[in-house]
Amino acid sequence: MRAAVRCFDICLSALLLVTMNGGAALAVSCTPTPWDEVGPFYRQNAPVRSCLGRGYVLSGTVRSAADCRPLPNIRIEVWQAGPGGEYDDGHRATLYSDHAGRYHLETDVPPPYGRRPPHIHILVDAKGFEGLVTQHYPGKGKQRGSLDLVIVPETDRK
């Protein structure tokens, strides 16, 4: 009985919210992924692959900032320093989000570079959206990380 009353309360609250909003559903939006430095080691045309080594997995979903919907088939470029602490062609890749907007990268645990903490550079390029350059900073001792890449439609910022 309590569950039915609780369900009724939730449904009534939702109905009141929609009614107070002129009958329209409330818009959902996602906070865009913050920009970070591209750095001096970006080079175009990285090979298409999702495995650069072993020891660290980065995954997430590419989403639209306008409505949080997952974006399929989005090009993502990554580059990082290899285990020896230098940037090299073996640690560059282009990957694509799948039909549900998800991406998956398996790589070596990135080392620190100079005075910088371990990081993976990420560039997202999608038609109809602003480009995104950001970085992922793995947690110390972690073998996995998650980063949703939330990009802004070109028409949202004028």
Angstrom distance (rounded) from CA 106 to CA 57: 4
Asked if the structure places residue 92 within a domain, the reply is yes
Asked if the structure places residue 59 within a domain, the reply is yes
Q: Which domain holds residue 137?
A: 55-156
pLDDT digit string, tens, across residues 33-85: 999 988 889 999 999 999 999 999 999 999 999 999 999 999 999 999 999 99
pLDDT digit string, tens, across residues 97-144: 999 999 999 999 999 998 999 999 999 999 999 999 999 999 999 999
SS3 content of the chain, % helix, strand, coil (to 5): 15, 35, 50
Q: How many CB atoms lie within 10 A of CB 36?
A: 15
Asked if the structure places residue 37 within a domain, the reply is no
Give whole-number Cα distances, 55 to 75, 87, 105, in Å.
23, 17, 11
pLDDT band at 28 (very low <50, low <70, confident <90, very high): confident
Number of folded domains that form the chain: 1
7 has a pLDDT exceeding 60: no
Angstrom distance (rounded) from CA 42 to CA 99: 27
Asked if the structure places residue 135 within a domain, the reply is yes
Asked if the structure places residue 99 within a domain, the reply is yes
- Residue 105's domain is classified under what CATH number? 2.60.130.10
Q: How many CB atoms lie within 10 A of CB 148?
A: 17
Asked if the structure places residue 110 within a domain, the reply is yes
Asked if the structure places residue 81 within a domain, the reply is yes
- Is this prediction's pTM over 0.85? no
Angstrom distance (rounded) from CA 140 to CA 100: 29
- Provide the pLDDT for residue 39: 86
Asked if the structure places residue 8 within a domain, the reply is no
Angstrom distance (rounded) from CA 46 to CA 96: 12
- Provide the pLDDT for residue 27: 64
- Which amino acid does the sequence have at 78? V
